[in-house]
A and B are shown apart, each in its own frame.
Chain A
Amino acid sequence: MRRIGSFFVRIFSFFRKEFVEVLRQPKLILTLILGPFLILLLFGLGYTNQRPPERTMFVISKDNPFAEQIKNKAADLDYVIKLVGVTDDFDLMMRNLNRNAIDLGVIIPDNVYETIRSNQQALIETYHNQIDPAQITYMEYMGAFLADVINRQILQSVAEQGQIEAQNVGPLVDNAIENTRNTRIMLEQGDVESAQHYQRAVRGNLSTLQLAVGTSASLLQGINQEFGGDAGSEGDILAKLQTTQDNTAIAQDFQTGQENYDQEIASLQEEENILLELQTDLDSFTSIHPAIITRPFVSKTKSAIQAEVSPTSFFIPGVIVLLLQHMTITLSSLSLVRERRAGTMELFRVSPLKPVEILFNKYFSYLVIGLLIAAILALVVRFGLNSPMLGSWVDMLIVVVLLLFASLGVGFIISFLSKTETQAVQLSMIALLFSVFFSGFFLDLRYLLYPVRYISYLIPATYGIQMLQLNMLRGLPINQTSMFSLAGFGLALFFIAWLLLRRTMADE
């Protein structure tokens, strides 16, 4: 019974000692809590998540027919590029790029028509001066985007031209309808000769129509076939024209002296209806904006996450995890190094404290201190920075406890590897740097190849960030695999730290 009492007396006493020592370093507390909060606040205030337009210069020869279009189009793209100038001097553009006066140089090729005629794509080259791999990727994307914009522009011009042509053929359709109707009426009245006259007029009308609406109607038909439009829609214009032209009533001359012309009359009535539909379709086709014809789809992305996750909010779980890990590693590594260097360990070795008890007491003390700091941090980010908290606070507590537990192990192992406090701080900083790169804090782990990715799973923050992001930003329960992995990792580190402490205390 006395032993149990002593056990709790020691735990409380260790905690009190460590807590008081931390409290008596107000600068440390400020650094640990206020520092990260201010960093996050500044980041939140200053980060817009909107990329400024790239300062762009086009290189295009003066007689290139695209020159004027480029200027006009650049003005429409002011959300991605800022037109600095258009020149025909490649060297001038390169000089500007090299002295960082522009971000992007775009070379528009000459002889585009000839190139296409020779069954080749015309090449738009883009030049940039970036050294950041992510920025280089963006510039490559920008090159492809600009080529796409120009391609669309050309298609849109074609569609516009088609619509103008379609508008021009309106009177031709009217004539075709009128002549078809007259053909039918003449046949009904038995005037075969007049009917044949109107029939020839209809044939001429239909041929002209087919030529006139061909381009734009083909485009529309292509869209219709690709995406499965309804029968009778605008996409059937050419088919209707062809059907009407192929209709036997129009295609074949009427035979005089027939007993009746009922079949031809019915056929002509049907053709007339088709032409009326064609008239409606053409009206409808010309009313569609060319941009919609050439770019029928637009996208709008919506998040399934309940909360709006700003860039600051996204980084908050990672910052909390990294901060807690770093704080815990630093404090615990310094703690044992200091005890060893100051000679307190000498007193422990004579005292009734066992290595496992010393370690347990230290773990408990820093766990409680870490939890207190974590609680303050969580409240500050939740209510000070309005960070989302979609998950359970209990889950968050479990994640933080496991994270601290494993981080303490790393810290204590560092303390055994360090001979001085400076070494301990340096190793703690290396652990932080290591975590920043390999924990998934800002780099998605999927970008890391195996076996390098395995290194990530030797860092407590990797599990912590994964679980805390799921909890805070997605509101999902703790991932069991991550939880048990982190707990197992923490236990393994505790065991190693215990072995090292036992060896240290055993003999000199």
Chain B
Amino acid sequence: MENVLMQTVTSLTDNVISFEGVTKTFDEQDAVHDLSFVFPKGKIIGLIGPSGSGKTTTVRLMTGIYHPTEGKIHVMGSDPRSFTLEEREKIGYMTQNFVLYPDLSVKENLAFAGAIYGFGFGHRAKRIKNLLEFVELSDDSKKLARNLSGGMQRRLALAAALIHDPDLIFLDEPTAGIDPILRRKFWDHFIDLRDQGKSLVITTQYVNEASYCDLVGVMAEGKLLFLKKPEDLMKTAFGGDVLMLNTEDSLSDTLNNELQQLPFVQGELTFLQDGSLRLIVDEAATALPQVMEWFKNKELALQSAEQYFPPYDDVFVKLIEDYRSNIETPAENGGLA
């Protein structure tokens, strides 16, 4: 499993973060266990997983807040425990909870955050203005942080994390409590940042946001189950691409068997309640013409045939369920964990 993870990403580009057998223990309980992976530079890496799966601990290990109990971590080529000041200046970090100062205004909080990185008044003024516009807090810049709603506080925290234009950005659930429109705007900005060459590690509980990421790490119970491109994750969950077929005629058992025996078809056919047929294939792009051809040859009327992209919620649930069932019956399932 570890080798798979390493292989998946090493082919992409230079690495910005690498974990080798990292375990972090609190009170003799592993918060994360034996993590090994590399994150490529200039990508958005999403970490998804249920609450308590170890996402925040992993981020804290990357930032140097936590030190590993076992294993080695390299971030930007250095051990986080011995980051130089210059390396720290390249890191932006947004915590999961709001940790800025409630008695300071939005603008004062941003000014303080900028000053920590040595930005004088002149340097940070324009940056603050732009960030306030980005997080749509320009009209609330004089409001005290304690008077902001939860969502506004998240936006302020995000702006604070980006104030010094960092190269490596850790965002712990940046979109929690944010409305869908602004959430989309955030992701557009993250993609912009990625395009500027920044690396982003983003944890989220909105599983559908995985589609914005270049790589998605699925975590559960302190382990990194998968680290894949979003589309590959879908394949992993369902065993291949999903095709959705609508036919006027119902298929006989014989035809069903024939269809299932086609070489590119994976697993059993599924008939849904609305009469549609779900087919798992190894590669949708090549399988779809062949399926259509098969229907034509069999003189069956095919109303529609298309690749189906299941919601990431379903993908995520499937992955976690599969993982848990593997844990419960490791011998039967080959022991994914």
Could you tell me which A residues sit within 8 Å of B by CB distance?
Answer: 2-3, 5-7, 9-10, 12-14, 16-17, 20-21, 24-25, 342-344, 346-354, 507-508
Bound-state CA distance A20–B102 (Å) is 11
B116 touches A13 (CB 8 A): yes
With A21-B101, A344-B101 known as contacts, the answer to whether A508 contacts B65 (CB < 8 A) is yes
A residues near B104, Cβ cutoff 8 Å: 17, 20-21
CB of B283 within 8 A of chain A? no
B117 touches A351 (CB 8 A): yes
B99 touches A343 (CB 8 A): yes
B93 touches A347 (CB 8 A): yes
A352 touches B101 (CB 8 A): no
Stretch at the interface among B44-52, B83-91, B179-187, B219-227: B83-91
B residues near A20, Cβ cutoff 8 Å: 103-104, 108
Bound-state CA distance A349–B103 (Å) is 22
With A20-B108, A24-B103, A352-B88 known as contacts, the answer to whether A347 contacts B118 (CB < 8 A) is no
B118 touches A9 (CB 8 A): yes
CB of B9 within 8 A of chain A? no
CB of B112 within 8 A of chain A? yes
Quick one: which of B86, B99, B108, B118 contacts A17, CB cutoff 8 A? B108
With A20-B103, A351-B88 known as contacts, the answer to whether A9 contacts B93 (CB < 8 A) is no
CB of B71 within 8 A of chain A? no
A10 touches B118 (CB 8 A): yes
A13 touches B115 (CB 8 A): yes
Among the interface residues A347, A350, A351, which one has the most CB atoms of the partner chain B within 10 A?
A350
A346 touches B99 (CB 8 A): yes
Bound-state CA distance A21–B104 (Å) is 7
Chain A nearest Cβ from B2, distance in angstroms: 26
Chain B nearest Cβ from A366, distance in angstroms: 15
CB of B119 within 8 A of chain A? yes
A residues near B65, Cβ cutoff 8 Å: 346, 349-350, 508
B95 touches A343 (CB 8 A): yes
A10 touches B63 (CB 8 A): no
Quick one: which of A21, A24, A352 contacts B85, CB cutoff 8 A? A352
Chain B nearest Cβ from A330, distance in angstroms: 16
A residues near B108, Cβ cutoff 8 Å: 16-17, 20
B120 touches A342 (CB 8 A): no
| 4 closest A-B pairs by CB | A6-B118, A13-B115, A343-B99, A352-B88
A residues near B95, Cβ cutoff 8 Å: 343, 346-347
Chain A nearest Cβ from B17, distance in angstroms: 14
Bound-state CA distance A354–B89 (Å) is 12
> What 1/0 flags go to B141-166 for Cβ under 8 Å of A?
00010000000000000000000000
CB of B111 within 8 A of chain A? yes
B93 touches A350 (CB 8 A): yes
A-facing residues in B96-115 (Cβ within 8 Å): 97, 99-101, 103-104, 108, 111-113, 115
CB of B66 within 8 A of chain A? yes
CB of B21 within 8 A of chain A? no
Q: Could you pull out 30 A-B pairs where Cβ atoms are within 8 angstroms? A: A3-B118, A5-B120, A7-B118, A9-B120, A10-B116, A10-B118, A13-B111, A13-B115, A16-B112, A17-B101, A17-B104, A17-B108, A20-B104, A21-B101, A21-B104, A346-B60, A347-B99, A348-B116, A349-B64, A349-B65, A350-B65, A350-B88, A350-B170, A352-B88, A352-B89, A352-B116, A352-B117, A352-B118, A507-B66, A508-B67
A residues near B112, Cβ cutoff 8 Å: 13, 16-17
Chain A nearest Cβ from B60, distance in angstroms: 8
Bound-state CA distance A508–B89 (Å) is 22
Which residue of the partner chain B has the closest CB to A4? Answer: B118
B118 touches A350 (CB 8 A): no
B119 touches A9 (CB 8 A): yes
B residues near A348, Cβ cutoff 8 Å: 116
What's the count of A-B pairs with C-beta under 8 Å? Answer: 80
Which residue of the partner chain B has the closest CB to A25? Answer: B103
A-facing residues in B38-73 (Cβ within 8 Å): 60, 63-67
Which residue of the partner chain B has the closest CB to A23? Answer: B103
Bound-state CA distance A127–B65 (Å) is 71
Which residue of the partner chain B has the closest CB to A349? Answer: B65
Which residue of the partner chain B has the closest CB to A338? Answer: B101
Which residue of the partner chain A has the closest CB to B119? Answer: A9
B63 touches A350 (CB 8 A): yes
Chain B nearest Cβ from A227, distance in angstroms: 74
Quick one: which of B67, B91, B120, B144 contacts A350, CB cutoff 8 A? B91
With A20-B108, A349-B64, A351-B88 known as contacts, the answer to whether A344 contacts B99 (CB < 8 A) is yes
Chain B nearest Cβ from A488, distance in angstroms: 31
Chain A nearest Cβ from B257, distance in angstroms: 59
With A17-B112, A352-B88 known as contacts, the answer to whether A5 contacts B99 (CB < 8 A) is no
Bound-state CA distance A398–B119 (Å) is 33
Quick one: which of A9, A24, A342, A352 contacts B99, CB cutoff 8 A? A342
A residues near B99, Cβ cutoff 8 Å: 342-344, 346-347
Bound-state CA distance A351–B113 (Å) is 9
A12 touches B88 (CB 8 A): no
Given contacts A350-B64, A350-B93, 10 further A-B contacts (CB under 8 A): A3-B118, A9-B115, A10-B118, A12-B115, A17-B101, A25-B103, A344-B100, A346-B95, A350-B65, A350-B170
Chain B nearest Cβ from A19, distance in angstroms: 11
Among the interface residues B85, B104, B115, which one has the most CB atoms of the partner chain A within 10 A?
B115
Bound-state CA distance A273–B116 (Å) is 104
B residues near A13, Cβ cutoff 8 Å: 111-112, 115-116
Bound-state CA distance A352–B100 (Å) is 17
Chain B nearest Cβ from A208, distance in angstroms: 99
Which residue of the partner chain A has the closest CB to B67? Answer: A507
Bound-state CA distance A508–B101 (Å) is 23
Bound-state CA distance A343–B56 (Å) is 13
A508 touches B66 (CB 8 A): yes
B residues near A344, Cβ cutoff 8 Å: 99-101
Which residue of the partner chain A has the closest CB to B26? Answer: A508
Chain B nearest Cβ from A223, distance in angstroms: 77
Bound-state CA distance A342–B98 (Å) is 8
A residues near B103, Cβ cutoff 8 Å: 20-21, 24-25
A residues near B111, Cβ cutoff 8 Å: 13
A residues near B93, Cβ cutoff 8 Å: 346-347, 350
Chain B nearest Cβ from A297, distance in angstroms: 67
B residues near A17, Cβ cutoff 8 Å: 101, 104, 108, 112
Chain A nearest Cβ from B124, distance in angstroms: 9
Bound-state CA distance A17–B112 (Å) is 7
Which residue of the partner chain A has the closest CB to B99? Answer: A343
B100 touches A353 (CB 8 A): no
Chain A nearest Cβ from B50, distance in angstroms: 22
Bound-state CA distance A2–B118 (Å) is 8
A residues near B89, Cβ cutoff 8 Å: 352
A-facing residues in B271-290 (Cβ within 8 Å): none
Chain B nearest Cβ from A507, distance in angstroms: 5
Among the interface residues A3, A349, A351, which one has the most CB atoms of the partner chain B within 10 A?
A351
Chain B nearest Cβ from A24, distance in angstroms: 5
Chain A nearest Cβ from B89, distance in angstroms: 5
A10 touches B101 (CB 8 A): no
Which residue of the partner chain A has the closest CB to B92? Answer: A350
